[in-house]
Amino acid sequence: MTLQPGRLGKTPRERWPRPVDWRRRWLRRALVTVVLLYVGILIVAPIAGLVAGALAQGLGPVLATFRDPQVQKAFGLTLRISLLVVAIQAVFGTAVAWMLVRDDFRGKKFINGLIDLPFAVSPVVVGYMLLLLFGRQGLFAPVLQTLDMRVAFAVPGMALATLFVTLPFMIRELVPILQAFGVQQEQAAATLGASGWTTFRRITLPALRWGFIYGVTLTLARALGEFGAVLVIGGGIQGRTETATLYIYRALDERQYVAAYSAALALGLFSLLLVLGTELLRRREESRQ
């Protein structure tokens, strides 16, 4: 008797394949479709709307918008405040994350909970609280008058408001990395005679690199887009305390729609490219390793 090749030696499952579960396949496709629609509605559609609004009258009005000295001042002020906030959060955010992971002290859980407060409090409320503290009738008004300093309706107050709303990003990026990194390598370096700063610079900081970069990226993107807090504490004084977001608000109020769309598109694309560029650099480095 002639045997058919390939028939013997196979398991029953290989000889009689199980029918495809069509319901599971269609469920997976439906979930992917829902996710794509969700992302498209929340991200792609607004960007497309900004592009359409900015280019509604051609490229000329867009270029004219960014040649406007008021627009340049607004973007320059936004950039200065954002870079100042990023520098401060990079130093103190790293220090706070280190303290929360490496030290045990009374009130640690309370401080850890307070760090997430900017996620829960409206930026408008933040601006109002700063106004109650540093305004003309505020709690610290006598001290500010003695020092001849101005915080409310000035750049220092806007920087404080931006510092508050960007507080969690650096800390929340670094805390889990420090927890996963542990203390073994640091203890080994200390045993070999390395100082605390040397240990941090050569061992801990390289391990924190990508968490640090992501923290800086998110902090910068959040600072660039802050609106409510800086509006209340800064007042949106044209040419003095008007940031890019406040310029967009004023342009919409004055029905200068092309200018508003153009400025909003520039801010949105810069933040998007910032985040995507960071992720691209990380994946490229991981592929080389």
Q: Of 236, 194, 259, whose CA–CA distance to 60 is shortest?
A: 259
Residue ranges per structural domain of the chain: 11-54, 59-288
Please say if the pLDDT value at position 6 is more than 60: no
Q: pLDDT band at 195, cuts 50/70/90?
A: confident
- The Cα–Cα gap between 178 and 285 comes to 21
Identify the CATH assignment for 59-288 out of 1.10.10.60, 3.40.50.720, 1.10.760.10, 1.10.3720.10: 1.10.3720.10
Higher-pLDDT residue of 249, 20:
249
Please say if the pLDDT value at position 192 is more than 90: no
CA distances from 65 to 25, 68, 173, 267 (A): 50, 5, 37, 14
Q: Which phi and psi (to 5°) does residue 128 adopt?
A: -70, -40
Highest mean pLDDT among 176-185, 241-250, 270-279: 241-250
Mean model confidence pLDDT for the chain: 87
The reported pLDDT for the residue numbered 24 is 84
The reported pLDDT for the residue numbered 11 is 55
Average pLDDT for residues 7-33, to the nearest whole number?
69
* DSSP designation for 7: T
- The Cα–Cα gap between 141 and 145 comes to 6
pLDDT in tens, 248-262: 999 999 999 999 999
Structure tokens at 42: 């929340």
Structure tokens at 170: 């650096």
Query: Cα-Cα-Cα-Cα dihedral of 132, 134, 138, 140, to 10°?
Result: 130
Q: Write out the DSSP string of 77-96.
A: HHHHHHHHHHHHHHHHHHHH
Residues 6+ apart with CB under 8 A from 239: 70, 73
Q: pLDDT band at 5, cuts 50/70/90?
A: low
The reported pLDDT for the residue numbered 13 is 54
Residues 6+ apart with CB under 8 A from 93: 167, 169, 170, 171, 174, 215, 219
Least confident residue range of 29-33, 90-94, 193-197: 193-197
The model carries a pTM of: 0.84
pLDDT in tens, 165-190: 999 999 999 999 888 887 788 778 77
pLDDT in tens, 110-167: 998 899 999 999 999 999 999 999 988 888 989 988 888 999 999 999 999 999 999 9
- What residue type is 169 in one-letter code? F
152-169 exposure pattern, b = at least 16 Cβ within 10 A, e = fewer: bbbbbbbbbbbbbbbbbb
- The Cα–Cα gap between 286 and 289 comes to 5
Percent of the chain's residues with pLDDT above 90: 49
Average pLDDT for residues 52-68, to the nearest whole number?
90
CA distances from 98 to 85, 174, 181 (A): 19, 8, 12
Greatest extent of the chain over all pairs of C-alpha atoms, in Å: 110
